[in-house]
Amino acid sequence: MSKDFTSFEQDAGVAFNDLNLLRQAFTHRSYLNEHRGEVSGHNERLEFLGDAVLELISTHYLYEKYPQQAEGELTAYRAALVNAVTLSEVAAGLGMNDYLLLSRGEAKDNGRARGVLLANAFEALIGAIYLDQGYDGAKEFITKHLFPKIDEILSKRLWQDAKSALQEKAQDTEGVTPSYSVIRESGPDHDKQFVVGVYVRETLLGQGEGKSKQEAEQAAARAALASLSA
């Protein structure tokens, strides 16, 4: 295999006992079709596990860090911390894009879809670390690489309901309520990815991606708010 995952280990500050788990975390389903027998499996099951581990560790962290905050605000903080946008940013910062194992077709797409792949791979990596090193190993990695994002999330108020903020802005300036429409959906039933556009009248203000329509709508609203304030 051409990828040198020991370099990633050094850069990310993690050392695997089972390198096959690390390889699998970076392996997209599409890669198997072109490289049968080279790797044992793709990363979707690890992603499923990592998502749950990430949510538990993040919930515990926020519960301890903000003892005065109500459940609703903590839920909003967590949603902003573990959404696809934040995870893909952290994954990109770790250089994970250089290690993704993709089909030739997937490798050509460097647009929005790549961000979703990176977020999925980050969750799969968390699942792999959990299996390889247990809860404490996963917690150490998440604490080091993801939790520093919470300061930016709070300072920029990224945890707030972007759809409500955009609706208020659009009604003030245009006198209308934004509408949302699914532009595209992909992936198997257990791992759907949605691309949603937000419109004012017929004008597309922003697009967003997510694992649910609601998450994609929030991402689209954040993109629209960013473009309106630029």
Whole-number pLDDT of residue 214: 87
Q: What is the pLDDT of residues 16-31, one digit of tens each?
A: 999 999 999 999 998 9
Whole-number pLDDT of residue 112: 60
Q: What is the pLDDT of residues 84-131, one digit of tens each?
A: 889 999 999 999 999 999 888 777 766 666 888 999 999 999 999 999
Percent of the chain as helix, strand, coil, to the nearest 5: 65, 10, 25
Single out the catalytic residue among 11, 34, 38, 123. 123
pLDDT at 1 over 50: no
Pairwise pLDDT comparison (85 vs 70), residue with the higher score: 70
* Residues whose CB falls within 8 Å of the CB of residue 2, separated by 6 or more in sequence, listed in order: none
Whole-number pLDDT of residue 229: 66
Pairwise pLDDT comparison (151 vs 158), residue with the higher score: 151
Tokens of 47: 């992603």
Enter the DSSP assignment of 211: S
* Domains along the chain with CATH numbers: 14-155 (1.10.1520.10), 162-229 (3.30.160.20)
Residue 202 annotated as catalytic: no
Whole-number pLDDT of residue 230: 57
With the C-alpha atoms ordered 110, 223, 210, 123, is the resulting torsion angle positive or negative?
A: positive
Is residue 82 within 8 A of residue 150, CB to CB? The reply is no
Whole-number pLDDT of residue 119: 92
Tokens of 36: 């049968």
**Mean pLDDT of the 69-80 span:** 89
Q: What is the pLDDT of residues 181-202, one digit of tens each?
A: 999 998 887 778 899 999 998 8
pLDDT at 175 over 80: yes
Report the share of the chain in percent with pLDDT over 70.
95
pLDDT at 204 over 70: yes
How confident is the prediction for the chain on average, in pLDDT? 89
Single out the catalytic residue among 44, 47, 51, 217. 51
Helices 112-145 and 84-93 pack at an angle, to 10 degrees, of 70
Q: What is the pLDDT of residues 31-45, one digit of tens each?
A: 988 777 666 789 999
Residue 51 annotated as catalytic: yes
Pairwise pLDDT comparison (189 vs 177), residue with the higher score: 177
**Mean pLDDT of the 128-152 span:** 97
